[in-house]
Amino acid sequence: MKNQELAQIFNEISLYLEMDEIPFRPQAYEKAALTLEGLEIDVEDIYKEGGIKALDKLPGIGKHISEKIEEYIKEGKIKYYEDLKKKSPVKIGELTAVEGMGPKKIKTLYKKLGVKNLKDLEKAAKEHKIAPLFGFGEKTEKNILEGIAFLKRSKGRFLLGEILPIVKEIEDKLKELKEVKQISVAGSVRRKKETIGDVDFLVSTDDSEKIMDFFVSLPKVEKVWGKGKTKSSIRVSDGFDIDVRVVADKSYGSALQYFTGSKDHNIATRRIAIKKELKLNEYGLFKKEKMIAGWDEKDVYEKLGLIWMEPELRENNGEIEASLKNNLPKLINLKDIKGDLHCHSSWNGGRNSILEIAQKAQSLNYKYVGVSDHTQFLKIENGLDEKQLAKQKKEIDKLNEKFKKQKLDFKILQGAETNILKDGSIDINDKALKNLDYAIAGVHSSFKLSKEKMTERIIKAIKNPYIKIISHPTGRLLKRRDEYEIDFDKILKAAKDFNTILEINANPIRLDLNEVNIKKAIKAGVKLSINTDVHDKSQFNLMEFGIYQARRGWAEKKDVVNTFNINKLMKLFK
């Protein structure tokens, strides 16, 4: 899809313009990037079907920007963008990847210290040249070094949300070949890890040559690392590597088990095989020289005395022991979700009206949706104050009355995503919170507090009787920002004591909570909610990533409150 590529370009154009202090135009490119990121279909398909007029009709995309999109589709580049890059000596995309580095700081560092790229930035910070500058200081310098170290740790990893659509597209193309008998993605993609290094496909076929010829000729191929009868490797234009391995039909199940991993899970299963005087590898399960399993993955586990386990569980994190005791969790599925409780409307940071959000939720067969717009502290998102929340409630009540007359089994709930201020207080008064169906609270500022202070801050919010959900509880942004320092065990205890729900934020850049903390929360008896945090109705489809994350944390339907029916949910809130 061209959407992400163009969104990245437009974001960088916006930053170049902001550095040059050109008014208004940066915001236009930012809006265009947001639109592209939220589209469910490829912008290239929209263009092919309706031309530049169809692009003009997209929200936030006017004639000027639609011409740029057309140029990129036709030429594979945008001259205006290339000219901006040539004109600017600064590698903006590289520098803004460091948390807290915006156009103004980049401009100052370039003017004062000649910082052009990540290498220059690291050198300047290590030599303590940044701290003395006006508006920076020792804390900022330290944060910059931490941000660079974080980027280095994340290098070569891609978000599951970035990779999965491309993987599905390539898998669908391979499935169309009549020579393909069986095909599956393996490795960390099959286990739905939050970040991915590379991608592995397994294929069984009688004509590997045809498969490999097709695979290395795919439109996205940027480089062919190797091509053979049983394995071929490519790099796609999106920057990651993909391998296709051809395996014999009789070994397909054992190969799938082996190449799915994880490494630690495979070591554990091989140890079980050895104890049973068996040999397990990618070719099959053998008793002496005789193959006793391998065609089917479930059969491989069964012959080892194990119950087959979902790929998301295979991290050697207790799943082997649970399987031996027939005590594996019945993992949550997407169809179990009855509603989304964290949705932003056009009242502040979102793109769609409350009615449009409700209609989209109804199309997904949800029974309810929670509109939870930002509150007043977040001025950048036009956060709502107490009067605006009261006004919004009237609109929601009218819509619910309309649905009732239409005999629709659906309800809009009014929530709000409030802000946990530095001292742990909430930026909306209790009287207004009491009038909501529920309130969410999240940290959106002052991320660098000490472990003790950040823990106290969140616990104080948990103790507020009107706060029902803590959003993105550890504050991480994958590949961009580490979790803030907290004592998660103390937060869990408070959440349990005050019946507060912790969110699993389904946005692929967050996936917060991580799987370890999800498992801890379940063990502690703390309820969870899986929410998409949508700012555009097309982002409802991100729910699948929240489900994957919940499954990796061993979550069952009973652990997640938005699998409850509306009556049970409201009873929990009240």
pTM of the shown model? 0.81
Q: Consecutive 10-residue runs of the chain (574 residues): their mean pLDDT?
A: 76 80 74 75 81 81 86 86 84 80 82 89 91 87 85 80 91 94 96 94 94 92 92 90 95 96 95 95 94 96 96 96 96 98 86 92 97 79 85 96 95 96 94 96 89 96 97 90 91 97 95 96 98 89 96 98 97 92
Answer yes or no: is 329 within a domain: no
Last residue of a domain, one of 224, 246, 268: 246
Last residue of a domain, one of 246, 266, 291: 246
276 and 294 together in one domain:
yes
403 and 534 together in one domain:
yes
Answer yes or no: is 381 within a domain: yes
Name beta bridge partners: 441: 418, 470
Give pLDDT, residue 404: 94
Answer yes or no: is 508 within a domain: yes
Give pLDDT, residue 23: 64
CB proximity list for 542: less than 8 A, separation 6 or greater:
161, 506, 507, 508, 532, 534
150 and 162 together in one domain:
no
Give pLDDT, residue 136: 87
Residue with tokens 């600064």: 90
Q: What stretch of H or E contains 404?
A: helix 386-405
Last residue of a domain, one of 154, 172, 192: 154
378 and 496 together in one domain:
yes
Are the C-beta atoms of 316 and 267 separated by less than 8 Å? yes
429 and 526 together in one domain:
yes
Are the C-beta atoms of 250 and 294 separated by less than 8 Å? yes
216 and 139 together in one domain:
no
470 and 544 together in one domain:
yes
286 and 395 together in one domain:
no
Distance CA 561, CA 528 (A): 6
Give pLDDT, residue 378: 62
Q: For position 542, which CATH number holds?
A: 3.20.20.140
Answer yes or no: is 420 within a domain: yes
**What are all long-range contacts of 32-36, with beta carbons under 8 Å and residues at least 24 apart?**
32/7, 32/60, 32/61, 32/65, 33/6, 33/7, 33/8, 34/7, 34/60, 34/351, 34/535, 34/536, 35/59, 35/60, 35/61, 35/351, 35/536, 36/3, 36/4, 36/6, 36/7, 36/10
Q: Which amino acid is at 131?
A: A
Are the C-beta atoms of 369 and 358 separated by less than 8 Å? yes
171 and 35 together in one domain:
no
How many separate domains does the chain show?
4
317 and 340 together in one domain:
no
Q: For position 17, which CATH number holds?
A: 1.10.150.110
Answer yes or no: is 230 within a domain: yes
Are the C-beta atoms of 427 and 376 separated by less than 8 Å? yes
240 and 355 together in one domain:
no
Answer yes or no: is 306 within a domain: yes
419 and 296 together in one domain:
no
* Residue range of the domain that includes 267: 251-324
